[in-house]
Amino acid sequence: MNESISHHFLKTVPGFLIAFSARHDEAARLIGAHMTNTGVAIPTGIFDGYFFTMLIAYSTGLFFAFVAVVLMEQGQPALLYICPICLAAILILGRRDLKDLWNGAKVFRLADSLVTKTERDWGKARMKRFAEKRRRENIALVGGSGNNRNPNQPLSRRSTGQPSEEPAIDSTEAIPSDHMELGSKDVYFGYEEHPGTRAFRSVVQEVAADLGEEEFKPEIYKIIKRKLKGRDYFKTNGIVWAEATKLETRKEIGRAYDHARGKSSAVLEAFDPMALPKL
């Protein structure tokens, strides 16, 4: 059985080599289109690079295997012809870069870093467009309501375009209204007297005491969330309470962590969609 598995695995080795060649050529073309002075040979056409030559080598080995079957009138192991020809082809083509090909081609590392950087830049540009869209929507909503509210000031989620008759609540010590049923374990950001919020502050101080030298990061966020498992998080805009989004929760936990350790984290000072005004 083990011999059968090894035999079937060996059949796929030339295919792996051809797939490696195809990936190498595509990575080199990607680098050539977006980077300069990399020292990498850039294939310009379909006949350049490794893939086309390796495809021809594989086809040639298979052809010789069929010829051997016809001439000897008995079955022949195709790998006996395919593997030597494919290996000879890539050794001849990559004779100047054998060490690089064996240890891991440089083009793969460059292509991966380029893709990562491009995705990061695309994400930042997308969030900037989202922020600008939200700002324009807020300005349009404020203009349509006919009042002088600051467009960067958060609006009530129950707002219908008319000025709210409810008195504003100080968000630094916001207290939910009597008709709102409170969960004893839930966290209400800004309502420090609530038992759930006090438990939240206690957990954050405990984590900050253990990891206070480290800046806020996803791992610390997960530790705090794990210690507060089963709780919901609420946030007020000064008028009504609503369940906080994941991004809002992450920002509030980060602020609480920095407050507990008495230092600021760079990640919280960068652009963050959670700092946008809410409609």
pLDDT digits (tens, 9 = 90+) for 255-266: 898 888 888 887
pLDDT band (50, 70, 90) for residue 63? very high
What is the arithmetic mean of pLDDT over 104-108?
A: 74
Phi, psi of 188 (to 5 degrees): -115, 100
What percent of the chain stands above pLDDT 70? 74
pLDDT at 224: 92
Could you report the per-residue pLDDT of 173-201, keeping only the tens digit for each? 455 544 455 677 889 888 888 888 889 99
Which amino acid, 202?
Answer: S
Q: Is the pLDDT of residue 152 over 50?
A: no
Question: How is 177-231 classified by DSSP, letter by letter?
Answer: -TTSPPPTTSEEET-TTSHHHHHHHHHHHHHHHHHTTSPP-HHHHHHHHHHTTT-
Residue 244: both structure tokens together: 């906080």
Average pLDDT for 85-108:
80
Q: For residue 156, what pLDDT is reported?
A: 44
First to last CA, the chain: 65
Write the single-letter amino acid at 142. Answer: V
Average pLDDT over residues 236-246: 80
Most confident of 155-164, 224-233, 268-277: 224-233
Q: What whole-number distance in Å separates Cα of residue 145 and Cα of residue 140?
A: 9
What value, to the nearest 5°, has the Cα angle with vertex 269 and ends 265 and 271?
135
Say whether pLDDT at 268 is over 80: no
CA distance 178 to 169: 14
**Which is higher by pLDDT, 269 or 160?**
269
Q: What is the mean pLDDT of residues 149-161?
A: 46
Mean of pLDDT values over 157-175: 44
Question: pTM to 2 decimals?
Answer: 0.40
- pLDDT tens for each residue of 29-46: 887 777 766 666 677 777
Apex 218 CA angle, 216 and 221, nearest 5: 70
- Tell me what pLDDT residue 157 has: 42
Q: What is the pLDDT of residues 66-76, one digit of tens each?
A: 999 999 888 87
